[in-house]
């Protein structure tokens, strides 16, 4: 779920998947024969760039997962190979998909410890940014942490929670939790702030910005606060939420959310750059570079 509002399939997704079918659950065999030499070269470039940037920035759990998965072969990884490691570490697997898939299908996969990964890779001219998730975001960004047992359980629980939130009609609240943890979460350690969110870890510029910029807010993790906070999909984040460890995240999300959704429904929604009275502020952003007219 990379946060789809009403959604039209992007051109690149259509082009890459021409002639390829998927099953009812939206999975497909990874079409290894479709990767060109240029794809492998672009993967290598992206991989090496992030591998050089992330020590001292990504959390240890992510760095350990990266090593454990052995994605470091200088070419686009084969899912079958990764699945051996992943399956024996935490019982998760990755499955290939065309691109974004419907929420309920996505949740169902997560609830069964299957992580849907877009099989195709961005092209050279999109190296620094593309709007839709590709294999570099989905695989490099998300899958190393699935080697960690606590995070692995969190994501499975999220999948089950997603199915329930969908039934209750409160998906926007739960989607914010995914956004501010799985995609853009930071972790406090004795050595300083570290990144665990995949949306950051798959981006060179946000890997630096999220830790070093004085512009954004950095606020202690608070489940209900997050579920009330809008987010931006078109800029760097205005606020990052910081956990102390993965067990905290797991424990905070274990209770049944049904009554929480009920009580939040009556409360105002916060803008992406707002601070609130209950916030445990780690850094109050100076908002530099945010235009006044921007709806944050
Ligand atoms: N406990 C949540 C619920 O009842 C499920 C959940 C777990 C949601 C972890 C998100 C993350 O809905
Ligand atoms: Co993602």
pLDDT by residue for the chain (296 residues), tens only, comes to: 544 455 788 899 999 999 999 999 999 999 999 999 999 999 999 999 999 999 999 999 999 999 999 999 999 999 999 999 999 999 999 999 999 999 999 999 999 999 999 999 999 999 998 889 999 999 999 999 999 999 999 999 999 999 999 999 999 999 999 999 999 999 999 999 999 999 999 999 999 999 999 999 999 999 999 999 999 999 999 999 999 999 999 999 999 999 999 999 999 999 999 999 999 999 999 999 998 656 66
Query: Rounded to the nearest whole angstrom, what is the distance from the C-alpha of residue 47 to the centroid of ligand 1?
Result: 32
Query: Rounded to the nearest whole angstrom, what is the distance from the C-alpha of residue 68 to the centroid of ligand 2?
Result: 20
Under 8 Å between Cβ of 232 and 256: no
In DSSP notation, 147-202 reads GSHHHHHHHHHHHHHHHHHHHHT-HHHHHHHHIIIIIT-EEEETTEEEE--HHHHT
Whole-Å CA distances, 176 to 22, 124, 241: 29, 31, 11
Q: Alpha helix (H) ranges present in 33-119?
A: 37-53, 60-69, 79-90, 103-111
Catalytic residue among 61, 108, 137, 210: 137
Q: Is 20 in the pocket of ligand 1 (CB under 6 A)?
A: no
Cβ count within 10 A of residue 6: 4
Q: Is 244 in the pocket of ligand 1 (CB under 6 A)?
A: no
Residues whose CB falls within 8 Å of the CB of residue 256, separated by 6 or more in sequence, listed in order: none
Query: Rounded to the nearest whole angstrom, what is the distance from the C-alpha of residue 226 to the centroid of ligand 1?
Result: 13
Whole-Å CA distances, 232 to 112, 134, 179: 29, 19, 10
User: Best mutation site among 157, 180, 249 for ligand 1, i.e. most ligand atoms within 8 A of its Cβ?
Assistant: 157
Q: Is 253 in the pocket of ligand 1 (CB under 6 A)?
A: yes
Query: Rounded to the nearest whole angstrom, what is the distance from the C-alpha of residue 145 to the centroid of ligand 2?
Result: 12
Domain 31-283, what fold?
Answer: 1.10.800
Radius of gyration of the chain (CA): 18
Q: Where are the domains of the chain?
A: 31-283
| Pairwise CA distance, residues 131 & 14, whole Å | 14
User: Best mutation site among 161, 221, 249, 255 for ligand 1, i.e. most ligand atoms within 8 A of its Cβ?
Assistant: 161
Give burial (CB, 10 Å; 0-12/13-18/19+) of 55: exposed
Residues forming a β-bridge with 192: 189
């Amino acid at each position: 779920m990379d946060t789809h509002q009403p959604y039209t399939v992007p051109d690149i997704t259509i082009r890459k998947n021409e002639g390829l079918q998927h099953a009812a659950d939206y999975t497909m065999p990874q079409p290894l024969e479709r990767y060109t030499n240029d794809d492998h070269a672009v993967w290598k470039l992206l991989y090496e760039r992030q591998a050089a940037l992330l020590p001292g920035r990504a959390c240890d759990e992510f760095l350990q997962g990266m090593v454990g998965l052995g994605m470091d072969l200088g070419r686009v990884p084969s899912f079958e190979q990764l699945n051996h490691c992943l399956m024996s570490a935490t019982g998760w697997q990755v499955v290939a998909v065309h691109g974004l898939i419907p929420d309920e299908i996505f949740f169902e996969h997560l609830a069964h410890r299957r992580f849907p990964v877009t099989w195709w890779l961005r092209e050279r001219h999109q190296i620094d940014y593309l709007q839709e998730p590709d294999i570099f975001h989905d695989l490099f960004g998300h899958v190393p942490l699935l080697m960690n047992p606590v995070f692995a359980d969190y994501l499975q629980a999220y999948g089950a929670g997603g199915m329930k939130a969908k039934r209750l009609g409160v998906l926007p609240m739960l989607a914010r939790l995914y956004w501010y943890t799985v995609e853009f979460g930071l972790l406090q350690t004795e050595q300083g702030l570290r990144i665990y969110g995949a949306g950051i870890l798959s981006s060179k510029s946000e890997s630096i910005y999220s830790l070093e910029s004085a512009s954004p807010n950095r606020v202690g993790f608070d489940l209900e606060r997050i579920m009330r906070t809008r987010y931006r999909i078109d800029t760097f984040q205005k606020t990052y939420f910081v956990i102390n460890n993965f067990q905290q995240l797991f424990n905070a999300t274990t209770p049944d959310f049904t009554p929480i959704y009920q009580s939040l429904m009556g409360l105002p929604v916060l803008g992406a750059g707002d601070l609130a009275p209950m916030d445990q502020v780690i850094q109050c952003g100076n908002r530099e570079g945010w235009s006044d007219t921007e709806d944050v």
